[in-house]
Every structure is written in structure tokens, then in C-alpha cells.
Amino acid sequence: MAMHGAAIRLVFLLGLALLAGCGGQLHKQQAYVFGTLVEITVYGRDEARSRQATDAVLKEFDRMHRELHPWEPGPMEDLNAAIARGDRRIPLPAGLGALIEEATHYSEQGEGLFNPAIGNLVRLWGFHTDTFVPKLPDPQAIARLVKAHPRMTDLSVEGDNLISRNPAVRLDFGGYAKGLALDRAAAIFNAQGVHDALINIGGNILALGSKGGSPWKVGIQHPRHAGALAVLELHDGEAIGTSGDYQRFFEVNGKRYCHLIDPRSGLPADRVEAVTVLTRGPHAGTLSDVASKPLFIAGPADWRRMAARMGITEALMIATDGRVEVTRALAGRLEWEKPVPPARVVD
């Protein structure tokens, strides 16, 4: 949950798109939550209602950040400590059981490549802090954690209790919380009568309604250069999520190590630069955040099969060898920035 320059650049691109022809009817607020910059834009004439609803959304984001943070004192730290002690029946804070069950469903759907149970691996690589030390972990420590095989199915929810069967599990919802927050924001806006808004949490973006009858327009960050790779129009209820090796990483001896760790090897995935997915529906925000991870880790040879498993038909993959592949369903919606990449359209 750390801030990164790529997210800032995407927000900047987004801001440029929104400012054009806004006619003074856009209400914007920013905050720093989930370790990243949050920007919320509401289109409408009622400034007081826009501010009230946006304040409610940001208050909810702050609550979620405090309750789900795995590395600071709070409910998640207490829960993880109980799991590490070997406690088998652990009282659950209100609402956390449903979240764990939902995350387990997504993890199984993604064949364990989306795995919030590998918090100990995240910490071993140093990606639990806002600053990363360019130092490789002890290979034997990695091997021990991989052998312990922490996974979401080691946990089960019984009423108000969590049943734990593996003390190597450490929950880290950093790859899930932003998407969940997008869906919470949509629910709050709907309840308060705000129907046209764009919520951007560090590059995870959900569109509600439109901008004065026109689709919201966002830029997809180029993984190796400042600026957009492509521009995309988002319609009501659509979300995009991107996983990239440019967001949180360090380098040792010229090799890049990113925060997206393959649970099978315990090593950062290194065959893909970025994956962007487009989702829609009542849980579009959550799915956009979750689905990009297993596609990224699956790599160039297997990302399309994984997309099908996750129910994703619109996606873009950029491999470390420069290969760009985009699904047919998404290709027609992208406006490529120059120089146009040699993208291969796939089914």
C-alpha cells in the first residue's frame, strides 16, 4: 500500500482529460488513502450534495484503510498475530468474515495466483513498507515459506470465528482493498443521489454515469515511459485495473524485482510489464483490482486462459520482451497514443 509515481502520472493524465470542456460543473476532491493518491470527480450542478457525498466516500476509505491495514496496529494485525501463534479458532471483527470468504472465492478462481495469504512473502521481500531496500531475501527463507504453502483455503469462517489451519498464513489485502473501496464508493454515491462520478484510487478507476452526457475518458499508463499508452472511454458501471512492474519495485544488479509475487516460486513475477483489465457490473471495482494480478503472474503464455477463468474478456498485456497483446473485445475501444505499439489482437 505505497504511493508510486506511475499512479501520479495516471492521475495527471486523467486530470487533463477531465478539465477539457468541463464547463465548471466538476467537483473534485483528493486524499491520500491506501498508501496512494485518491481523486474523486463528481459531475453535477449541486455543489453541496457533491461535497457531502464525496466526504462520506473519503470517510469510508479512511475507515477501510485503518481496519484492513496488515502492517499497522489494528484488527488485521491482531488477526494475523493470532494465526501466527497457531490459534485455530479466532474471533472475527464485524464484516471481515464475508470479505475473507469473497477473497477465497477469487483466489480459487485465479488458481491461487491471487493470494492474500502470502503476507509473509510480501514482508520478506520488503514490500510491506513505503520504501524498498534493494536487497534480496535469503533463498532458504523463501523456500520455507513456499513449502509452507499458505493459501486462502487454509482459512474458513464459522459464524463469528475464523478457523485457521496454517500458521504460515498472513493476510494482506493490499491487492484487493482498492477494488473493494471502489464498489463501496459506488454504493455511497447511489444512496446519496449522486449518479455521475469518477473514482480513481491510484490508477484503479470506476466510472459512474457520465460527464455531462459524454463518457469519462482515462489514460492507460505506459509501463516504461511517462504518459499514456492508450486512452479509453469508460461508461457507467465500468472499471479498469492495472497491475504493473513499474509501480512498486527495486533493482539489484540491473534486474527489476516488483511487488507482484508468484506464490508458486516465492519470487516476483518477471515476464510481464503490465496488465490492464476492464470490468463492469455490481462488483466491477473489486474484480478490476483482483483479476489483473493472476493474469500478470500467469505470464505471456497463459494470461488469456487465466483471463477466461476470471471472466475477463477485455484485457491488455505488455510482456517484458516488448510484446503487446490485446483482446478483440478491448482493441476496438482503445485510442493508441503515438508511437502506436505493434499490438497483436487475440481472442
Q: What is the pLDDT of residue 129?
A: 86
Q: What is the pLDDT of residue 70?
A: 92
Q: What is the pLDDT of residue 35?
A: 83
Q: What is the pLDDT of residues 290-344, one digit of tens each?
A: 999 999 999 999 999 999 999 999 999 999 999 999 999 999 999 999 999 999 9
Tell me the C-alpha distance between 331 and 343, whole Å: 9
Q: What is the pLDDT of residues 15-51, one digit of tens each?
A: 433 433 444 489 999 999 988 899 999 998 789 999 9
Residue 8 pLDDT greater than 60, yes or no: no
Q: Which of 335, 344, 219, 325 is CA-nearest to residue 274?
A: 325
Per the prediction, the chain carries an average pLDDT of 92
- Give bridge partners of residue 241 from the DSSP assignment: 277
Tell me the C-alpha distance between 267 and 256, whole Å: 11
Q: Which of 237, 202, 192 is CA-nearest to residue 31?
A: 202
Tell me the C-alpha distance between 190 and 328, whole Å: 32
The answer to whether the CB of 343 falls within 8 A of the CB of 325 is yes
Percentage of the chain exceeding pLDDT 90: 86
- Could you tell me how far CA 90 lies from the centroid of its own chain? 28
The answer to whether the CB of 3 falls within 8 A of the CB of 39 is no
Q: Which of 299, 310, 342 is CA-nearest to residue 323?
A: 342
What CATH fold (topology level) applies to the domain 74-164? T-fold (1.10.3980)
Ramachandran angles phi, psi of 230, nearest 5°: -155, 160
Half-sphere exposure of 265 toward its Cβ, with a 13 Å CA cutoff? 9
Q: What is the pLDDT of residue 82?
A: 98
Output the CA–CA distances (angstroms, integers) from residue 284 to 57, 183, 197, 243, in the order listed: 17, 7, 15, 16
Helix (H) or strand (E) holding 289: helix 284-298
Q: Is the model more confident about 282 or about 187?
A: 187
Residue 281 pLDDT greater than 50, yes or no: yes
Give CATH superfamily name and number for 5-66+178-346: ApbE-like domains (3.10.520.10)
**Hey, what's the cell of 226?**
511517462
Output the CA–CA distances (angstroms, integers) from residue 14 to 43, 127, 204, 231, 234, in the order listed: 14, 27, 12, 10, 12
Tell me the C-alpha distance between 279 and 114, whole Å: 17
Q: Output the pTM of the full model.
A: 0.92
Q: What is the pLDDT of residue 56?
A: 97
Percentage of the chain exceeding pLDDT 70: 93
Q: What is the pLDDT of residue 145?
A: 98
Residue with cell 486462502: 152
Whether the upstream peptide bond of residue 339 has omega within 30° of 0, thus cis, is: yes
Band the pLDDT of 131: cuts 50, 70, 90.
confident
- Give bridge partners of residue 326 from the DSSP assignment: 316, 345
Q: What is the pLDDT of residue 284?
A: 98
Tell me the C-alpha distance between 275 and 307, whole Å: 11
Tell me the C-alpha distance between 347 and 38, whole Å: 34
**Hey, what's the cell of 305?**
486462459
The answer to whether the CB of 242 falls within 8 A of the CB of 203 is yes
Q: What is the pLDDT of residues 145-171, one digit of tens each?
A: 999 999 999 999 999 999 999 999 999
Total residue length of the chain: 347
Q: Which of 129, 168, 108 is CA-nearest to residue 3?
A: 129
Give residue limits of the domains in the chain.
5-66+178-346, 74-164
Tell me the C-alpha distance between 244 and 146, whole Å: 23
Half-sphere exposure of 342 toward its Cβ, with a 13 Å CA cutoff? 3
Q: Angle, to 10 degrees, between the axis of helix 284-298 and the axis of helix 177-191?
A: 160
Tell me the C-alpha distance between 161 and 138, whole Å: 35
Q: Is 11 helix (H, G, I), strand (E, B) or coil?
A: helix
Average pLDDT over residues 81-98: 95
- Give bridge partners of residue 262 from the DSSP assignment: 267
Tell me the C-alpha distance between 4 and 248, whole Å: 7
Band the pLDDT of 13: cuts 50, 70, 90.
very low
